[in-house]
Amino acid sequence: MFERHGVDLSRKTMGGWLAQCAYLLQPLYGSLKEVLFQSKVIGTDDTSVKVLDIKLPFARTGRIWPYYGTKAIPCLYDYTTTRERTGPEAFLKGYRGYLQADAYSGYHAFFKNPARGLIEVGCWAHARHHLYKALQSDQARMGPALLLIAQLCRVEQQARPMAPKDRLQLRQRQSRPILDKLHDYLAEIQVEVLPKSPEGRAVRYTLKNWTALTATVKTETWRSITTQPKGRSAAWRSAAAIGCSLAATGVAKRRRFCGASWLPASGPE
């Protein structure tokens, strides 16, 4: 932008501005976080990004965590230097409700203590990804499982424009029989596949997280059965853009960088 007006600024200078802006916007970020925590459900899925570190001769891997809630609630980003549990644990401190995410082991401690007030909800996009990766090595067994998940997705297409109560009724009427069939099928083939094979890992992942994956047929809270519903890809594009900026300017040497954006209302309701 400055270059178009004939102003030559170094990346170091702009990086300093970015850090100063992040500091000045902290009060606004805190207020937006209070709004986000009013949501019944928060979805998240971290993404990796290469960042510069003045203490290292090479770029290391940092993490950007988008956190999004229900309609008309801003999507917030949180940067951490590692993928340790302390990152989401610090961000979600004080939040009580449903957390929709992948099966990252760092989240497990959140759900073990009922007094913490967090309830786990799984993501079918992640479960499908594991099964799809195993398709190449075992098409005969993975194909039927993916077909059943495709049927779930077709139900979701019908459910998306519905009111929460009607959506839940549709899922219980159409999705639950599909889920029962899928569970029985996976339990049947689990004894047939090698535990450390791609198909063995995919089946184990899905069955291990079955309670969280089927939470969407037990309550009317969710508009989507994945952490990446239509329209939310903007969150990951924005996160990637922030990450590129951090990597280019070296601002990520700071422990934490925060951001926010508003996104189309297509997430959980």
| Mean pLDDT, residues 22-26 taken together | 90
3-state helix, strand, coil in the chain (%, to 5): 50, 15, 35
What are the start and end residues of each CATH 3.30.420 domain in the chain? 10-122+228-261
Return left, alpha or beta for 229; rule: phi > 0 is left, psi -120 to 50 is alpha, else beta: beta
What is the per-residue pLDDT across 62-108, written as a single tens digit (0 to 9) for each?
A: 999 999 887 778 889 998 989 999 999 999 999 999 999 888 888 98
Return left, alpha or beta for 92; rule: phi > 0 is left, psi -120 to 50 is alpha, else beta: alpha
Question: Could you say which DSSP state residue 115 is in?
Answer: G
| Mean pLDDT, residues 216-242 taken together | 59
pLDDT at position 254 is 40
Alpha helices by DSSP H, listed for 41-138, are: 86-91, 108-112, 124-133
Gyration radius of the chain's alpha carbons: 21
Please state the separation of Cα 24 from the chain's center in Å. 27
Which option is the CATH number for 10-122+228-261: 3.20.20, 3.30.420, 1.10.1760, 1.10.760? 3.30.420
Query: d(Cα 178, Cα 155) in Å, to the nearest integer?
Result: 10
Confidence of residue 261 (pLDDT cuts 50, 70, 90): very low
Confidence of residue 225 (pLDDT cuts 50, 70, 90): low
What SS3 class is residue 137?
coil
Backbone angles phi, psi at 78, to 5 degrees: -135, 130
pLDDT at position 263 is 38
- Residues 36 and 69 sit within 8 Å (Cβ to Cβ): yes
For helices 176-190 and 198-208, give the axis angle rounded to 10 degrees.
Answer: 130
Burial class (CB in 10 A: 0-12, 13-18, 19+), 121: buried
- Identify the CA nearest to 213 among candidates 224, 198, 229: 224
Confidence of residue 14 (pLDDT cuts 50, 70, 90): confident
Alpha helices by DSSP H, listed for the chain, are: 11-24, 26-36, 86-91, 108-112, 124-133, 139-159, 164-170, 176-190, 198-208, 210-213, 233-249
Burial class (CB in 10 A: 0-12, 13-18, 19+), 213: buried
